[in-house]
Every structure is written in structure tokens, then in C-alpha cells.
Structure 1
């Protein structure tokens, strides 16, 4: 049984996949399996994958189902004691697995964070979001529980690739990614984080995150429509697990902000559809038991957005109302 299963979903990644795979194969830590899920690629990705000859590589070929299903399918066959994720345009530092494994085993943790660093056209630079600045020095060199971070969980990076997880823990809590949508790592992260008993952090850059024009989070386009459904999934997770009352102030603000910013930044051709999705969601909220909380807990800017959507018939009417 390998110590670590690295899960790598791939879709039309011929430009970058070779570097990603090589970054795993060249690790200082060698006791791993690399599960690559070819999610219906139509470019030269599969030929590049087949060019590697390493017994630690397992390739799953499937019709295009999206990153959530690809990761779930890999989890179903993974046999490592620990789980790590890698995106097909990114890569690990040479000692990523060794350092992450040493940290999580030292503290017998359920999950461990590490830092990520951005790469763009030859330039490497830090990003506050991935620097773990929410965790001050008092969180280092020990394990902690989510109860120690009640007011800051929505300031954490939700990126699934920024952590190493105990496999038995993920199986015990039945951790699964939402399928058929983008931003699937957001509800997955909060479910896993709040279920964990022991968490630790490493203040070291172990992961290189490539910024480019085709990356999912770089271009605001139709995929950002999924921020509405991802927020709905997140609400259900908090309600079903009894976390809603503890976190509702920050949770409701977080749920509002994702689609609010997406509606602001989406190209004009997407705004009508995005507004329709948001309005349908808010109308369902109005008919449900949490409507009063949205009115009572939201700050003035987010509350105005919420009510403006409810009171507008379409995006054009909303745009006028939102400027008043």
C-alpha cells in the first residue's frame, strides 16, 4: 500500500500536463501512486500521458464529467494512506510530498495545509490568499481543531490542492465532491475542515499555481454561473451538520458575495442568466425558514443586493434599482 495517493484530473491539458506529471514522478518522496483521470480530453493529452512508463501511474479514462466526478472516481480506487490533489496546469516542489507527509504524520492530523505560490510567464510571486496568513504563529508546530478558528473560516483558501488529507478520515466522513458544477472544492473544503479533529499547517511553499488565460479561476465566464449552486450545496452542508447557527453571520455573507461578485464581473452576455439563477435561489430562500436570517444578519450592502434581486423582474430592472 502506498503512503500517498496523488489525484490528478486532466482535461485538454496538452500544454502543461507533462510538467505536472514529472513534478510528481521526481519527488524526493517515492512511496506514492499517481492516479490520473483523463476527463474526456480531445487534444493530445492522452498521448502525452501514455508516453510515461512508471508503475506508480494509474490512468482512468472517462467521458467528460467535470472535476468533481473525476476526483470522486479517483477517490474510489485510491489505496494510499494519505490523499493529495494536483491540478493539471500546476506542479509540486520537489519535496512537496516528503514535507507534507512528515507534517501530517508528526501531528497525526486529519488534514494539513501548506502554502502555494503563483507562477505567471516566468514570474513567481506570493498571493495573500494562499499564504495562510489567517493562521498566526500560535498555530505553527502543533495541531489544532476548527473550534479554535470560529471567526475566520471564510477567510481560508478552499483550494483542495493546498492540503494533504488522511484517507481513512475522508472515507469515514464520506467526503465527496459535488458533481456537474465548477467551484466544487469550496463545499468539499468546508465539510472536511469542520469535520476534522486535528489540523496542522506548514508555512512553506510546496505548490506552484500556474496563472494563464485558460485557467478556471482566471477568466470570469459561464462557469461562474455555478457559484449559485455551489452556495446552495454549502448551505445544505452547514444546515445538515448542525453548523448553521454557529456560523450563520459569516456563512450568509459568504453565500451572497460569490454570486454578487460574479454578476458584477461577468460579461454582458452572461448577466441575464446569472441574474435568473440568483433570483430563483433568493425566491426559494424567501419561501423557506431562513429568510428572516438573511434580513437580520446581512450587512447593508449585501442586504440591499439581496432585496434588489427579489424586487426586480430582470437584470435590466435590477441594474437600475441597484444604482439607486
Structure 2
């Protein structure tokens, strides 16, 4: 049995998936299998992936869905077909640094009590710029340790995403799989469930690159057409967990602002009215109550700076 099972959801990423697979082949730790789940791509993605089959000596499979079912379903199919108890995820437009699996292997042996293992990442933009992620975590560069508070660490900019993480199979058995009804923010929903039950071990170094705007990235579509996390069902859990409550409210804020930008006042109100304003920064409280034209202007300014490699964010106090 391989030490890691690498799950790759694949849907219309013919221009990107070869770089993803090459980054796996470049890993310094090589005891793994690769499970690609083709979610009925309509381009040449599957053909590109199939061309790599002979390059992986430790196991390479492509599993096909019968109908397009979404990212969560593709991940869940990969998990159920994986042979290892340690599941690594990477989307078909993201890449790992060569030491990612080696760092995860070390984390797993140093912190066997953890259920989730992760590393830092950078964000890769279409203009070729890469930006580091601001972390709400007091770890020295290169440090490996347990994250003291999962929700506090991930409330502002998340310190990881599922392209820079490995999850034990037992986490899915206890917390459930990715919710296939959610079509936007499925990672957030899973984090709420898993973060309450399991510890995270973390390596504070950049081991992966997250592609911010590939061709069919879901964030480019209207949020109003998507199904999001029902945060209200976690309010009972948050009653005795202030970090979780803040995590819920900040994620409500992010989605509420997106609805405001789209002019969806009904869905904006449902989220905004459930937020405890004490859990937001001053700038977030301002934008939550500001007219739509002000929020759109601020967003344009942020994008202008982002193109120049400067991140302006409301997530810092």
C-alpha cells in the first residue's frame, strides 16, 4: 500500500493539468499513488492526463464520472477509491513544490495525534505574480508544530487549502465527506466539521501554489447561482466556541459582500443579519453597511493594486 494517495479532481483543465502532474513527478518523496477523477471534461483534459500514465511507476488511475457532479463529488470519489489511509489533494490547475510530500511525511511522523497535515502556499495570478499569504499564526519560518486553534488560524486568510493538505481517512469517517450539495465554499463547510474534531499539524513554509484564476474557476461565476454553506446549522456548536463563532461570521461577511456586489439584497441580508459585528474588523464593518457603489469602488482599487503585486485586505486589524 502506498504511503499517500493523491486525489486530483479533473474538469476542463487541459492547459493546466500537465503542470500539476509534472509537479507530482518532481516530488522528492515518491511512495504514492495518483487517483485522477475525471468529472466528464468536455475538452482534452483526460487525454492529457492519460499521456502521463506510463510515467508513474507507483500507481496511476483515472476514474470517470458518468455525469458532471462537481468538485466535492470528484474528491469524494477519489477518497473512496484511494488505497492509502493518508489522502493528499491537488486540483488540476495547482502545483506542488518538490518537497511537499516529504514535508508532509515528516509532519505525520512528528505529530501522529493530528488528523490534518498542511503547509503554507502562495497565490499565483495570471500576470505571473505570486503573493504570499498573511498568516494569523505565531510560527517561525520553517517551523513544524500543532496549530493551537484551528479556527483562529484560518479565520482571516486561511493558512492552508486542500491543495496543500493531507487528511487521514478517519477524519472523513468521523466528520463526513465533502458536501456534494454545496457548489461554492465546500472547503469551508468541511473545515467547520473536521476542525472541531481533529488537530492540525502545520509546516510554516511554502510548499504549493494556488492558481487564482484558471479558465473555469468557480469563483468567476455568479455566486447567486451557487449553493453555499448553511452556517446556521453550526451556531449551536459555536455557542461554546468563540473561535468557531468568529470563523462563521467572517465567512458570512465574505459571502455577504459578494452578494452585495451582485445586487442580491435578499441573500445579503440573510447573512449580514446573522453576523455579530464584534467579530469583524473596523473596515469590514464599514463595507458591510456601505452602499454597493462604495464596495464596488473599493474592489476596483484592490484589484488595481493586486495587479501591481500589492495586496490590500480588510482581514488585518
| Shorter-chain TM band | 0.7 to 0.9
Note the C-alpha offset of 1:25.
Answer: 2.6
Matched, 1:96 2:94: no
Note the C-alpha offset of 1:83.
Answer: 1.2
Is the contact between residue 163 and residue 210 of structure 2 (CA under 8 Å) also seen in structure 1? Answer: no
Partner of 2:130: 125
Q: Decide which of 238, 244, 258 is 1:243's aligned counterpart.
A: 238
Q: Relative to structure 2, which stretch is displaced further, 85-94 or 185-194? A: 185-194
Find the residue that maps to 2:215 and give its secondary structure: coil
User: Structure 1-normalised TM-score?
Assistant: 0.74
Is the contact between residue 76 and residue 177 of structure 2 (CA under 8 Å) also seen in structure 1? Answer: no
Q: Relative to structure 2, which stretch is displaced further, 26-35 or 83-92? A: 26-35
Q: As a proportion of its length, which structure holds more helix?
A: 1
Is the contact between residue 12 and residue 41 of structure 2 (CA under 8 Å) also seen in structure 1? Answer: yes
Find the residue that maps to 1:209 and give its secondary structure: strand
Q: Decide which of 244, 260, 265 is 1:275's aligned counterpart.
A: 265
Question: Structure 1, residues 82-128: CA drift from partner, whole Å, max 9, x if none?
Answer: 11110111111112111111112211121122111233357453322
Note the C-alpha offset of 1:35.
Answer: 1.0
- The correspondence of residues 23-172 of structure 1 with structure 2, limited to 5 A, is 23-52=23-52, 53=54, 54=56, 56-62=59-65, 63-108=67-112, 109-120=114-125, 123-129=128-134, 132-137=135-140, 140-146=143-149, 151-157=152-158, 159-172=161-174
CA distance in 1, matches of 2:50, 2:192: 35
CA distance in 2, matches of 1:258, 1:170: 26
- The correspondence of residues 206-245 of structure 1 with structure 2, limited to 5 A, is 206-212=207-213, 214=215, 216=217, 219=220, 221-223=221-223, 225-226=225-226, 229-232=227-230, 234-239=231-236, 242-245=237-240
CA distance in 2, matches of 1:189, 1:70: 18
Note the C-alpha offset of 1:215.
Answer: 5.7
CA distance in 2, matches of 1:295, 1:173: 26
Question: Structure 1, residues 272-297: CA drift from partner, whole Å, max 9, x if none?
Answer: xx334345x46xx9xxxxx8x75786
Note the C-alpha offset of 1:12.
Answer: 0.5
Partner of 1:257: 253
Find the residue that maps to 1:160 and give its secondary structure: coil
CA distance in 1, matches of 2:188, 2:235: 13
Which structure: larger Rg? 1
Note the C-alpha offset of 1:307.
Answer: 9.3
Change over 3 Å in CA distance of 1:214–1:224 after alignment to 2: farther
User: Runs of 5+ in structure 1 lacking a partner?
Assistant: 286-290, 309-317
Give the CA RMSD over aligned residues. Answer: 3.4
Change over 3 Å in CA distance of 1:113–1:278 after alignment to 2: same
CA distance in 2, matches of 1:224, 1:16: 27
Is the contact between residue 136 and residue 156 of structure 2 (CA under 8 Å) also seen in structure 1? Answer: no
Partner of 1:181: 183
Is the contact between residue 11 and residue 40 of structure 2 (CA under 8 Å) also seen in structure 1? Answer: yes
Change over 3 Å in CA distance of 1:75–1:238 after alignment to 2: farther
CA distance in 1, matches of 2:283, 2:211: 33
